[in-house]
Amino acid sequence: MKTSQCIESRTPRVALFAGSFDPFTRGHESIVRRGLEIFDTVIVGIGVNPSKKPFMTADARKQWIESTFAGNERVKVIVYEGLTVDAARAHGAQFLLRGVRTAADFEYEQTIAITNRSLAGIETVLINTLPQLSHISSSLVRELLSHGHDVSQLIPPSAPIELLPTTL
């Protein structure tokens, strides 16, 4: 009698981590790395709003994030316009990944998560920001840069700093 092994087959778990990432910070990097403990692939989706003037170009942000995760085939980076749930569906993501720093973030994310689930059946997974990174935001990085301060402790160490604009 032959013994057969049952090999479990499952669909890879893919999450979209969406934001403007203008610029991508150590807090964002932490959410992606921790998301990889849950998901097979994390797609970092750079949302572009044509009515807003970004600090960094979408291409520069994409290069910045790709440099941060160079060599990690489980992280993909895309640029998209429109609804996040539409981008998730277009790229095969079954989940949205979000970072939460504060209770206010949670309230906002909960409302959006309910809406996204009802619109597209896509679940949202919230990851609490690590306490030592909870003060970091893209707007803080931009503000410090505008006053000539060093932001190296707030951005990923492998990020190509030369992609930051020289004038604000």
Structure tokens at 153: 């402790």
Catalytic residue (one of 101, 117, 134, 137): 101
Distance between CA 153 and CA 80 in Å, rounded?
28
Using alpha carbons only, give the angle 85, 89, 90 rounded to the nearest 5 degrees.
Answer: 115
Q: Give yes or no: 138 in active site.
A: yes
Structure tokens at 109: 């994310």
Q: Give yes or no: 13 in active site.
A: no
Of 79, 41, 43, nearest in space to 60 by CA: 79
Catalytic residue (one of 26, 28, 61, 76): 28
Q: Give yes or no: 26 in active site.
A: no
Catalytic residue (one of 30, 62, 98, 138): 138
Dihedral over alpha carbons 25, 75, 77, 155 (to 10 degrees): 10
Active site residues: 28, 52, 101, 138
